[in-house]
Amino acid sequence: MSCRHFGDPDNCGGCRYQDFSYEEEIAQKDRELRELFADVVPSFDEVYEGITGTDPDGYRNKMEFTFGNRMKDGPLELGMHRKGRFYDIVSVPECQICNPDFGRIIDATREYFSERGTSFYRKRQHTGYLRHLLVRRAHFTGQILVDLVTADYDGSSEFDEAELTGGFRDALLALNLDGELAGILHTRNNSLSDTIKDEGTEVLYGQDFFYEKILGLSFKITPFSFFQTNSAGAEKLYGRAREYLLEALHGEKPHEVFDLYSGTGTITQIVSKYAEHVTGVEIVPEAVQAAEENAAANGITNCSFICGDVFKVLDGLDERPDYIIVDPPREGLQPKALSKIVGYEVPSLVYIACKPASLARDIPTFITHGYEVKHLACIDMFPRTNNTECVCLFVKTGDGALRHQ
């Protein structure tokens, strides 16, 4: 389905492949991945399992919309940046990559504040009130969290803030949505950058979290916690990682598995039933707290989470893993962490990469240390964009594998 917000230079600049059929998009991404990995993966054609597609329509469970206008002195808009423009905003009520509930919410929000003449935050002057609208909608549970992000109210006579935000809440509650509103929030953000920063959040309705389910487990999600933006794609991604780990285990239950860069503990919990114990390491304190809460809610008792830099944490641990899973940020594994990881000489390692180029850069190091690529698969986690994620199974060969036995 074509998107009316795509193509025109004056329209949204968010997607790349809206003018492709999805089959053409997958084929193009496959060609790019083959070109990227063919020269760094020995026996590439034997181990490469291609790219798995996901539903390109309505897949995103999180969107951050910006208040502004399309042109100087134009009407209030709430949406995405115009292609190639930093200050100009276009409303996108029919965005194809998110559920129709997103469009209903941004339309109602824009109309409500337009009718009241509420000012939006001007980045050059650092004046105005409305900044962003953060919307999260769980794919599998249908629960919705809406967060209105504004600058501080200065007490001027422009409006009564409590009355204004209360009316906004009531306008959303009156909508006929397919999903269910779990919470409506108001967050203050006075930072000069165009990113959302939580400087205090008030609950206008409901609660400040909701739940999503992945592979039978329940995960609590707050406005600013990390969670894969494609829930259905995450099931395919984590399912493939689990499949590779189970193949490596050969039916045995290892004593210890390390899940490095564990985020909110999604993978840690998914693989916990196949090991005596899993240790997750993550540098973001809020993510570690969420991981601990999610594990407790899911009744999982054989996981523990450590907050800190991966290299520093590993350097201070006496425990040695039997197997390792890594899911590093886009820049991939840092050299010190990579050296520490290959030094464990585990028989198998699962590498999840949110940036394929980072994995391609790290593969030669694994090969140098006696590993070979057993499987390499890609999941199209972000249809209509040029991004994909990869899952790779490394296995130790020769003397290294024998020493670990």
Please give, one letter per residue, the 3-state secondary structure of 334-356: CHHHHHHHHHCCCCEEEEEECCH
Q: State yes or no: pLDDT of 402 exceeds 60.
A: no
Count the helices and strands in the chain (H runs, E runs): 11, 17
Determine the pLDDT at residue 79.
86
Q: Which residue has the tokens 């020769």?
A: 398
- Judged by average pLDDT, the poorest of 102-106, 175-179, 398-402 is 398-402
Domain ranges of the chain: 22-56+229-404, 62-221
User: What 8-state DSSP symbol labels residue 7?
Assistant: S
Give the number of other Cβ atoms within 10 Å of residue 27's Cβ: 13
Is the pLDDT at 344 greater than 90? The verdict is yes
Q: What is the pLDDT of residue 223?
A: 87
Q: What DSSP character marks residue 91?
A: E
* Rounded-to-integer distance, Cα 3 and Cα 12, Å: 10
* 324 or 286, higher pLDDT: 324
**pLDDT (average), residues 225-239:** 92
The pLDDT, as a whole number, for residue 246 is 96
Whole-number Å distance between alpha carbons of 365 and 118:
55
Q: How far is CA 111 from the centre of its chain?
A: 29
Q: Is 357 helix (H, G, I), strand (E, B) or coil?
A: helix
Tokens representing 297? 């809610």
Predicted confidence at residue 405, as pLDDT, reads 46
Strands (E), 163-310: 180-188, 201-206, 210-214, 217-221, 257-260, 278-282, 303-307
Q: CA–CA separation, 356 vs 387, rounded Å? A: 9
Edge-first strand order for the sheet with 201-206 is 89-91, 77-81, 62-68, 130-137, 143-150, 180-188, 201-206
Query: What's the rounded Cα separation, in Å, for the pair 246 and 241?
Result: 9
Q: Which of 73-87, 220-234, 365-379 has the least mean pLDDT?
A: 73-87
What is the reported pLDDT for 49?
97
| The pLDDT of residue 83 is above 70 | no
Question: What is the amino acid identity at position 53?
Answer: G
- Residue 19 is predicted with a pLDDT of 76
Q: Is residue 13's pLDDT more than 80?
A: no
Three-class secondary structure of residue 215 per DSSP:
coil
Q: Give the least confident one: 18-22, 28-32, 69-73, 201-205.
A: 69-73
pLDDT for 193: 75
- Domain covering 62-221 in this structure, CATH number: 2.40.50.1070
Q: What residues contact residue 3 under an 8 Å CB cut-off, 6+ apart?
A: 12, 15, 18, 94, 95, 96
Confidence at residue 60, expressed as pLDDT on a 0 to 100 scale: 94
Q: Give the three-state DSSP class for 55.
A: coil
Q: Is the pLDDT of residue 358 over 50?
A: yes
Contact present, 134 and 146 (Cβ < 8 Å):
yes
The residues, any chain, with a CB within 8 Å of residue 88's CB and separated by 6 or more, are 68, 69, 70, 71, 81, 82
Q: Give me the sign of the Cα torsion angle 384, 82, 189, 155.
A: negative
Which of 171 and 198 is assigned the larger pLDDT?
Answer: 171
- Name the range with the highest mean pLDDT among 5-14, 23-32, 73-82, 280-289: 23-32
**Has residue 192 got a pLDDT over 80?**
no
Given 15, 95, 354, 392, the catalytic residue: 354
Is 22-56+229-404 a CATH 3.40.50.300 domain? no
Residue 126 has pLDDT above 60, yes or no: yes
Cα distances (Å, whole numbers) of residue 349 to 78, 274, 365:
44, 15, 13
pLDDT at 35: 96
Q: How many Å apart are CA 216 and CA 347, to the nearest integer?
A: 28
Write the CB contacts of 132 (distance below 8 Å, at least 6 apart in sequence): 64, 65, 66, 67, 149, 189, 196
Does 354 qualify as catalytic in the annotation? yes
Are 88 and 70 in contact by the 8 Å Cβ rule? The answer is yes
Rounded to an integer, the average pLDDT of 168-183 is 98
pLDDT at 383: 92
- Average pLDDT on 348-353 reads 97
Question: Are residues 145 and 101 in contact, defined by beta-carbon separation less than 8 angstroms?
Answer: no
Q: What region, left, alpha or beta, does residue 117 occupy, with left being phi > 0 and alpha being psi -120 to 50 degrees?
A: left
In the predicted model, is pLDDT for residue 2 greater than 70? no
* pLDDT the model gives residue 404: 47
For residue 366, what are its two tokens? Answer: 């694994």
Report the pLDDT value the prediction gives residue 226, as an integer from 0 to 100. 80
Query: Residue 118: what pLDDT?
Result: 92
Rounded to the nearest integer, the mean pLDDT of the chain is 90
Residue 46 Cα to chain centre, angstroms: 30
CB count, 10 Å around CB of 36? 16
Enter the tokens of residue 49: 């399992």
In angstroms and rounded to an integer, the radius of gyration of the C-alpha atoms of the chain is 23
Q: Which residue has the tokens 């601990």?
A: 292
Q: What is the pTM of this model?
A: 0.88
Q: Determine what percent of the chain is predicted with pLDDT higher than 90.
A: 71
Range of 105-114, 219-228, 312-321 with top mean pLDDT: 105-114
DSSP SS3 for 184: strand
